[in-house]
Structures are given as C-alpha cells and as structure tokens.
Amino acid sequence: MDKTRLRCKELESKVMTAQEAAKIFENDMVVGASGFTPAGYPKAVPVELAKRAENGEEIGITLITGASVGPELDKELAVSGVMKRRFPYQTTNECRNAINEGNIKYQDMHLSHVPQWVKYGYFGEMDIAIVEAVAITEDGGIVPSTSIGNSATFIENANKVIVEINTSQPAELEGIHDIYIPQAPPNREPIPLVSVSQRIGTTYIPCDKEKIAAIVFTDISDSTRAVAPIDDTSRKMAQNLIKFLKEEVRLGRLPENLLPLQSGVGSVANAVLGGLCDSDFENLEVYSEVLQDSVLDLINANKVKFSSGTSITLSPHRLPGFYEEFDKYKDKMILRPQEISNHPEVARRLGVIAMNTAIEVDIYGNVNSTHIMGSRMMNGIGGSGDFTRNAYLSIFTTESIAKNGDISSIVPMVSHHDHTEHDVMVIVTEQGVADLRGLCPQERAEAIIENCAHPDYKEKLRDYFNRAKEGKFKHTPHLLKEALSWHEKFLETGNMK
C-alpha cells in the first residue's frame, strides 16, 4: 500500500481486493461511476463484477457515468449482461450493439443534465458511487485522475463509495482539478466562474469518510484510443472553418484571439481543432469537455494559453510524452466537474465558440448527431447541446458524404433530430461553409445545398427543394412522402444515389 496515495490513516482498514469490493454490488442497484471518455474510469472492480455474472450470479445494475468509459466498464458489463440500464453516453461496440439489439435500456442525455438528475432524485436512490482516484488526502478527500465527470455529485449522493486508487495515473495530476458543485434549487447561487483559467473550488472531492466502503489499489492504464490521422478532407474542413473565423474577426464580430473554443469529440473534431495550429490566431483559450491530442499540439505551438475541460484523453502514444513534460502543461490546464464544464450558465457567459460534429445535416440546418438511419444509436448527444444552444457562435462540421459516397450527409430531412434549426448557426463541410444566421428556411436550403453538399448530390437536393417549393405552404417546404426516402433507399440498396 502506497501511503503517499492513501494519506488518510483511518481509511487504511478499507483497503481490499477488487474481487472483495465487487461483492458489495447487489442486483438492481443504481451505480454512478467516474469516467469521461476512456479516461479516469474505474477498471479493476467492474471486471470482477462482470465475473460474478459470468459465474452464473443474477446481477443487473443501472450504470450512470460522466460520459463514455473504457472497455473494463462498458464492454465487460455489457457482454456479461450486468448492465441493464445505461445513462448518459457510450461509445464501445459492445455496449452500442446491446443497445441496438434492445438488450440495454439506454437514455441518451445532455451531459449537463446528469448531475442535476442525480440531485433531484430522478434516477432513484444512488446505491454506489465507484470512482478512480490518484490519491486520498489526509482528510479523506478524493483526488480524481484523468477525468472528473460526475464523480463529485455521485460521491455526495451515493449511499456507499468505492475508490480505485490507480497507481498508473501519475500522482502529479493532483492540483489540476477544481471541484465546485452548485446547490440544488431553490438555494442555488450564481456560479462565480468568469474566465477560463479561474479556480473556484478545491483540488479534491470532499467525501464523508463513513461512506467509503472499499478502497482498491490498481495499476490498469486508461484504455484510450488513437484518433485517426488527419486526412485531406479534415484538413479542408479546418481550412474552411479558419477562413470563416478570420472573416468574423475582420467584421468585428469576434475579438482577435477569438472566444473560448469548445470542440466536440472524435477524429473530425480533433482534426478541425488541430487545424488551428496552422493558423495565425494566438492567445486562444479552450473551454471544452474533452482535451484531446490537438489541445496539446496547440499548447506546444503556443496558440493556446489556457484550456479547461472535464477530461484529458490522449492517444496512447501521446500519453508518455504528456506526463514527461507535465510541468509545462500543468499550469495551462484545469479539469472541472462536467456540471461546470458543460453548464449553460458558464458557456453563455464566456461566449464559447462551439464546434461539434454532425452525422448528417438537412437542408434546413437541422442536425442529427446520434442515430444512423433514424433507428441505430451511434454514441449519444453528449455535451453538444449544452454548448451549441448557449454558444456565441455554434458550428457543426461534417464530411459532405459518408461510406465512400454511398451516403450524402446533407439530406432533405435528417432521420433523427438532435439540434434544431434554432440552434445551428454555421455548417462546415470540406466543400465550404453555410452561414445560416438571419436566414429563413428557404435561404438556408440554398446556402447549404450550394456551399456544403457534395457535387454528386447537389442536383438531387436542388430537385427535392424545387419541387417542395411548389407546395402550398412555403415557410419550410417539404414533400413528406419523400423527406426520408433517401434513407429508405440506402437501407434497401446500400446507396442513396
């Protein structure tokens, strides 16, 4: 037992093996786990919990996390059948498949809603909070690792707390966190945060020592994934975006160093943000959920002076370098609870530039971020709604086609709606930019078709729009019979053309 990691003497008696700790779980329990992207989630105990089910025990739980987590949770618990219900976001193949087969009940939620729902009692009583930590302080305060997510709220509201002290996570992470949790109405006060680099809380999560039921030492690393290398298409999207932002500065609508940048998750988002390395913007700030590889690149390139998120997720090959030079990054980064990183109050106050990725966009500017062909869940809406609606400038990027051109990502009507026309200001594809601000639906359709659609699909989109305009009601012209026919055709033939 490493006493620099477990500094509270009183709690030494709570140390046990993962297998022992896994016995604390009972059938039908509601469990809150740390983790946001495959970073900072508990690993040792969930694997042991899955084994109990594999050995024939009847055990099913509701799992609530910050956002997606790694395979030790979302794969193991899905495959073993332990996971019955899942909130609010997931990305592993196993969990996704079980959801789409109807075997896991999943509610896809705005990430800022989750901690509120816990406090308001909407998930029922929380039986167990299980969180990864780099250390426990003298007073029993829990120091999170590479993400915070909802850990603080889970710890406050759960009946029992299990802590995994992960020695593969560097002890130096202590100090990077800033824990502040607002009270519930009617006693909620303004969140005092007015700048990206401001600290408003503590570096650990306060925890009632009585609630700690188990402490497990482990050294399993975060199972992060490499982001796809930046390809030509992403590079073009980034160039289009940068050109657009420069024009906004020129028109006096944005300051020279822009406003705090929020960037979505995934390969496209990483590439687009990374594209700023090649721009002449300086003194940028990042106020986002997830700090991906591109944030390090931007810090290295002296473009970003400060970044705030709720999770650090780097490609596996980037991690060692990050920890080696941690001193350089430490005073340019803060991790916050997702209730703060994603809070509408803060996003609107700071005036973030929200840049998220769409699966598909329709001619009127509605965005689908979650469902393939209307029914199949991909990941979830994540924090995209928290930021988009409250942004100074809300931007969605997508490649104009998918699956080698068999799919147009610009369609007459999206097959699922996550962000409506009211929330989407700008669409960027590798083809160009559609600035939708101030445009009526017909004008939006023209801008999106002409600037963003792939040449192979432009004529077909124009044809739909022109025929729709002949209808009686011309505000948002649609041919309801055909609005979803592109998706139908793809499902039948494997091609939208």
Q: Which residue is nearest to ligand COA (CB)?
A: 266
Does residue number 455 form part of the binding site for its own copies (CB under 8 A)? no
Both tokens assigned to 118: 């816990």
Question: 340 and 346 in contact (C-beta within 8 Å)?
Answer: yes
Q: CB of 32: closest distance to its own copies in angstroms?
A: 14
The smaller minimum CB distance to its own copies, of residues 330 and 474, is found at: 474
Does residue number 382 form part of the binding site for ligand COA (CB under 6 A)? yes
Q: CB of 376: closest distance to its own copies in angstroms?
A: 4
Q: CB of 320: closest distance to its own copies in angstroms?
A: 35
Within residues 268-287, the interface with its own copies by CB under 8 A covers none
Binds 266, which of its own copies, ligand COA, none (CB < 5 to 8 A, cut-off by type)? ligand COA
Longest dimension (CA), the chain: 77
Binds 443, which of its own copies, ligand COA, none (CB < 5 to 8 A, cut-off by type)? its own copies
Going from the C-alpha of 377 to that of each of 93, 102, 104, 367, the distances in angstroms are 11, 11, 12, 15
Does residue number 389 form part of the binding site for its own copies (CB under 8 A)? yes
Does residue number 42 form part of the binding site for ligand COA (CB under 6 A)? no
The smaller minimum CB distance to its own copies, of residues 134 and 372, is found at: 372
Does residue number 38 form part of the binding site for ligand COA (CB under 6 A)? no
Q: CB of 337: closest distance to ligand COA in angstroms?
A: 15
Phi, psi values for residue 63, rounded to 5°: -115, 125
d(C-alpha 310, C-alpha 80), whole Å:
29
Does residue number 268 form part of the binding site for ligand COA (CB under 6 A)? yes
Does residue number 185 form part of the binding site for its own copies (CB under 8 A)? yes
Residue 374 region by backbone torsions, left for phi larger than 0, else alpha for psi between -120 and 50, else beta: left
Q: Residue 143 CA to chain centroid, in angstroms?
A: 22
Q: Which stretch binds its own copies (CB under 8 A): 154-162, 266-274, 292-300, 416-424?
A: 416-424
418 exposed, middle or buried (CB, 10 Å; 0-12, 13-18, 19+)?
A: buried
The smaller minimum CB distance to ligand COA, of residues 144 and 383, is found at: 383
Q: CB of 443: closest distance to ligand COA in angstroms?
A: 23
Question: What is the per-residue burial (b if ≥16 Cβ within 10 Å, else e) of 360-388?
Answer: bbbbbbbbbbbbbbeeebbbbbbbbbbbb
Does residue number 263 form part of the binding site for its own copies (CB under 8 A)? no
d(C-alpha 176, C-alpha 62), whole Å:
30
Question: 371 and 451 in contact (C-beta within 8 Å)?
Answer: no
Helices 232-250 and 267-274 pack at an angle, to 10 degrees, of 50
Q: Which of 48, 164, 285, 289 is catalytic?
A: 289
Does residue number 403 form part of the binding site for ligand COA (CB under 6 A)? yes
The answer to whether residue 48 is catalytic is no
Within residues 199-258, the interface with ligand COA by CB under 6 A covers none
Residue of 5, 75, 110, 303 interacting with its own copies (CB under 8 A) = 110
Within residues 187-226, the interface with its own copies by CB under 8 A covers 188-192, 194-195
Does residue number 121 form part of the binding site for its own copies (CB under 8 A)? yes
Does residue number 357 form part of the binding site for ligand COA (CB under 6 A)? yes
Does residue number 356 form part of the binding site for ligand COA (CB under 6 A)? yes
Binds 389, which of its own copies, ligand COA, none (CB < 5 to 8 A, cut-off by type)? its own copies
The smaller minimum CB distance to its own copies, of residues 182 and 274, is found at: 182
- Interaction mask 404-433, ligand COA, x per CB under 6 A: ---x-x------------------------
The smaller minimum CB distance to its own copies, of residues 162 and 347, is found at: 347
The smaller minimum CB distance to ligand COA, of residues 21 and 296, is found at: 296
Q: CB of 422: closest distance to its own copies in angstroms?
A: 5
Residues designated as active site: 289
Binding site for ligand COA (CB under 6 A): 264-269, 289, 356-357, 359-360, 369, 372, 378-379, 381-384, 387, 402-403, 407, 409
